[in-house]
Amino acid sequence: MRILLGVPGGIAAYKAVELARLAVKAGHSVRVIQTPASLRFVGRASFAAITGAPVLASEFEDDPAKGAWPGEEPGSHTPISHLALIERADVYVVAPATANTLSRLASGSADDLVSTSALAATCPVVLAPAMNGLMWANPATVENVLTLKDRGFHVLEPEEGPLASHGEAGKGRLVEPDVILHSVEMLGAQTRDLDGVAVVVTAGGTREPIDGVRFIGNRSSGRMGFAVAEAAQQRGALVTLIAANSSLPCPLGVELVEVGSAAQLAAATETAFQAADVLVMAAAVADFRPVAPVGGKIDKSAGVPSLQLEPVDDILKGLAAKKSSGQVLVGFAAEHGPSTQRARGKLEAKDLDMVVYNDISDGTIGFDSLDNQVTLITHKGERQLALASKQVIAGGIIDALVELRSSGS
């Protein structure tokens, strides 16, 4: 596995040397990039000797290995891109992730090789923070970590205990290098089992206009669909994400189509579906819409308007009726209550391949939250995915999708 190790300037940087050593010992191909500050803590020589490859600490310096990884022949020319290493990494791990580097990653900075690589990564990125306990507990760091998790970075929370700085203790201790390596191996082992598969994912919540400024909407943030799109992309799929009214950043490598209303979402999905192998309908689509939205703004002095609604066509049911053999269709069912019966009813009635059911009576999961707990319902049975981040749940959904495709249903 090609592991890119980004080393920021924290006192625990010496442990990154051990991480590199363990990774090389385990047979991985490792390249190291350092922030300028980290050079004050550990020099390049140890990393270079351990990995057998040059270490870079600036986006402006040439790579003597010309973008090659240990075990490969050096390239014949200097890579044009300062991103040559991240482009071919299977996993990018940043350890020890300093408060400063976390802040720069959360704000999208690209002012050194470590942050630029994070910004351009399409592989999983693992962050192993380490810092003084007060720095870790500071609301700025807390918020940065939440932002990064939300964007799909894998954060290995620091541990409680003695810190590397003399006499200090608290939460902020770098996770042990062997544990970091284990997480890196788990993420990097993800096979590209959707290589070249065309996946269409819908996400977010539609808005049905009442007048020029008001609409009937719903609380969907789009997080679940975005996580599915990202997971599919990381496993090699060619992903089109049709997003209704979501403010989330589009995952790297994913093609984004932005829509507003159910009708727009239906049109975009119908077009994308023609070339799709898989459709995952995670968007919360309106069931009803105003029959006659008016232009401008309804004047409140005219009294309380009466709103006549009409049903919205069921997009998934319509597409299921047209599906060609080999196409896999997945629906979502947000139901109020713990029974999976209604969700199974949807699977049958709409002739889907899988329904992802979640119980929205539990306010801590589902709509607009970071975590979810779902049951995957197929014609063959049901599988529960335990409460976890939407990224982890998305991985479970993709696993089930891959199984469905290989079983030919």
Ligand X SMILES: Cc1cc2nc3c(=O)[nH]c(=O)nc-3n(C[C@H](O)[C@H](O)[C@H](O)COP(=O)(O)O)c2cc1C
Residue 135 C-beta: closest distance to ligand X, Å: 6
Helix (H) or strand (E) run with residue 33 in it: strand 29-34
Per the document, the length of the chain is 409
User: What secondary structure letter does DSSP report for 244?
Assistant: E
218 is catalytic: yes
**DSSP H helices in 158-206:** 177-188
**Residue 55 and residue 69: Cα distance in Å, rounded?**
11
Q: Which one is catalytic: 100, 132, 144, 218?
A: 218
DSSP H/E element including 107? helix 99-107
CB of 100 to ligand X, least distance (A): 4
Compute and round to an integer the Cα radius of gyration of the chain: 24
Omega before 96 within 30 of 0, i.e. cis: yes
CB of 39 to ligand X, least distance (A): 9
Hey, how many other C-beta atoms are within 10 angstroms of the C-beta on 395?
21
Measured from the CB atom, the residue of 174 and 365 that comes closer to ligand X is: 174
User: Smallest distance from the beta carbon of 104 to ligand X, in angstroms?
Assistant: 7
Cα-based angle 136, 138, 140 (whole degrees, multiple of 5): 105
Q: Which residue carries 């009576």 as its tokens?
A: 361
> Taking the complex as a whole, how short is the minimal distance between the CB of residue 13 and ligand X, in angstroms?
8
Instruction: Let me know: does 248 contact 271? Beta carbons within 8 Å.
Output: no
* Amino acid occupying residue 109: S
Q: Which CB atom, from 176 or from 371, has the smaller least distance to ligand X?
A: 176
Half-sphere exposure of 162 (CA within 13 A, CB side): 4
Nearer to ligand X by Cβ, of 51 and 101: the residue is: 101
What whole-number distance in Å separates Cα of residue 260 and Cα of residue 208?
Answer: 8
Closer Cβ to ligand X, 115 or 218, answer by number: 115
Nearer to ligand X, 9 or 188 (CB): 9
Query: In whole angstroms, how close is the CB of 5 to ligand X at the nearest point?
Result: 13
**Which residues on neighbouring strands pair with residue 58, listed in sequence order?**
none
Q: Which residues bind ligand X (CB under 6 A)?
A: 8-12, 35, 37-38, 98-101, 130-131, 135
Q: Coil, strand, or helix at residue 4?
A: strand
Query: Strand 208-209 relative to strand 255-259: parallel, antiparallel, unpaired?
Result: unpaired
Contacts of 42 (CB under 8 A, 6+ apart): 7, 13, 14, 16, 17, 34
Known catalytic residues?
A: 218
